[in-house]
Amino acid sequence: MRELRLFGPAQLLRLLHINRVLVRHGLDEIVLATHLFRPIGFLRHLLPWNWVPRQHLDLPRGARIRLTLEDLGPIFVKFGQMLSTRRDLLPDDIALELAKLQDRVPPFPGEQARVIVEKAYGQPLEAFFEEFSFEPLASASIAQVHTARLHSGRQVVVKVVRPGIEKIIRRDVELLYIIASLAQRYWREGRRLRPIEVVTEYEKTIFDELDLIREAANASQLRRNFQNSPILYVPEVFWPETRREVLVMEQIHGIPVGDIAELRRRGVDLKKLSERGVEVFFTQVFRDSFFHADMHPGNIFVNAEHPDNPSYIAVDFGIIGTLSPTDQQYLAENFLAFFHRDYRRVAELHIESGWVPAETRIDEFESAIRTVSEPIFDRPLKDISFGVFLLTLFQTARRFNMEVQPQLMLLQKTLLNIEGLGRQLDPELDLWKTAKPFLESWMRDRVGPRSFIRRVKSHIPRWIDQTPDLPNLVYSLLRHASTGGLTVQLHKQEMDYLRRDLRRANRRNFHSVVGAALIVCAAVLLGFNAQNSIDVWQTPLLVWLLGGVGIGLLLGAWPTDA
């Protein structure tokens, strides 16, 4: 567990400011109404600030929390945005309000931007740019953007990190760790929801955003993934001019995806655009396992040069999500099982992946998932909400002690962004029908013969490289075993992996037994044919033989783990 430092003067002043903002928005009532403070809730009537009228007390609690985070500054705004994707942590009314948080802050002076850029380059601004606009094009909590022109004549945008932002982030993150530590210790749901891990994930994400070289690398990778793609364009990065505090990219021109009126005026095919948004999402997640995880309308533009064949333009690559092959496989199978309404398979996948405890009763979990999922099928996007669906699904999973999966948080956030874009562009969009063919094609490629051959080919060099070491490894293992020096240590995660491997081994054995049985049956049938002098080529028994051998070999060699 992370070691927490004691309060310093700066943190103490910040904590006092936070308390003042909480009181101003009437959140002291919400805090004192919680389970932990309910026994002393009567004390709120004795607090001096409750003796005078206050603003915002007539607003719902979700709106008050959102206004509080906006007043506390950009770090808390970003944290609230991340929490809005965690429907397992928050009631629906609060999650929906937090989704409205906007990362808009006043710009800092252009002359400060000049100082930062020249310090990063170690040279005057004019050495790199023929022109530089000191009026910012856009401003956010971490950085702001200026337009410029290189000496080559290329029009670019220059992203500059906000002065002093790293110190502010470190101070506020320390406070978040203290709050998370208290929640994990004294909140009943704390151990399951792992608030310290939530803050750790947030800390990693926000400090990654401070490194603009990392963002430039993300942009380059995404640009390479969609090179010559008709559905998504990623601007070029100018590496010679890019530093940790300064990012220089190609300036793009497009229509903000949220400007529906302008898109309609230009005659853009909104149905095709919405379908391509779904394709962009699933391509990034399942083909590349590398996806833009901040796809809100401010970061997505539309190229309307050909209105009947529109495409997307993405900007701001500070937050990128990735998935392990295992999570990728389980997600794809989960989606397909949902599309086919195979709720038992969904329940089995949750158990196999370790997302819910192994002792969970599959029939009960299947029934709960069916209850949540059935109402949303055969309905257009305008009539359903993934936000509400995910919330209900998480509440159902909570009953079965499902653990939060931090690696899937960014994916949930991105899926909700895609829902919002699709709802704006084409309320009649059938997300299930649009996504299903893509996932089926991906799964065929993933588990088919070509995939098997591809995986074998990729492993051959490693097998060849490791083969000479095998005798020494076997000798070392046997020597330790004979001297009593061989020990086995199993931790919880390793036990989970072991259980999963045993399940896969059982399936593999089953396939092998069935395959062997088919081969034996085919051989017996062929022998029967030979004894009775029947022309095998004129009977269907040859089909039994070839089919039995083929299916037997296939089942015996069929991969049980992607």
Q: State the DSSP string of 272-313.
A: HHHHHHHHHHHIIIIIISEEES---GGGEEEE-SSTTS-EEE
Place of tokens 């099928």: 377
Pairing of β 300-303 and β 246-250:
unpaired
Answer for the pair 290, 284: CB distance below 8 angstroms, yes or no: yes
Q: Which residues contact 296 (CB under 8 A, 6 or more apart)?
A: 417, 420
* Cα–Cα distance measured from residue 498 to residue 490, given in angstroms and rounded to the nearest whole number: 9
* Cα–Cα distance measured from residue 264 to residue 95, given in angstroms and rounded to the nearest whole number: 31
* Cα–Cα distance measured from residue 99 to residue 66, given in angstroms and rounded to the nearest whole number: 9
- Round the CA-based radius of gyration of the chain to a whole number and report it: 29
- The one-letter amino acid at 470: L
* Cα–Cα distance measured from residue 41 to residue 28, given in angstroms and rounded to the nearest whole number: 10
Q: State the DSSP string of 225-249.
A: HTTT-SSEE-PPB-GGG--SSEEEE
Beta bridge partners of 301: 256, 313
Pairing of β 320-322 and β 290-292:
antiparallel
Tokens representing 446 are 């993933």
Catalytically active residues are 294
* Cα–Cα distance measured from residue 362 to residue 346, given in angstroms and rounded to the nearest whole number: 10
The distance between the two most distant Cα atoms of the chain, rounded to a whole number of Å, is 106
Answer for the pair 272, 309: CB distance below 8 angstroms, yes or no: yes
Burial class (CB in 10 A: 0-12, 13-18, 19+), 137: middle
Q: Which of 79, 69, 74 is nearest to 25 (CA)?
A: 69
Answer for the pair 98, 65: CB distance below 8 angstroms, yes or no: yes
Phi, then psi, of 125 in degrees rounded to 5? -55, -40
Tokens representing 32 are 């004192």
Tell me, what DSSP letter sits at residue 407?
A: G
Burial class (CB in 10 A: 0-12, 13-18, 19+), 147: middle
- The one-letter amino acid at 540: P
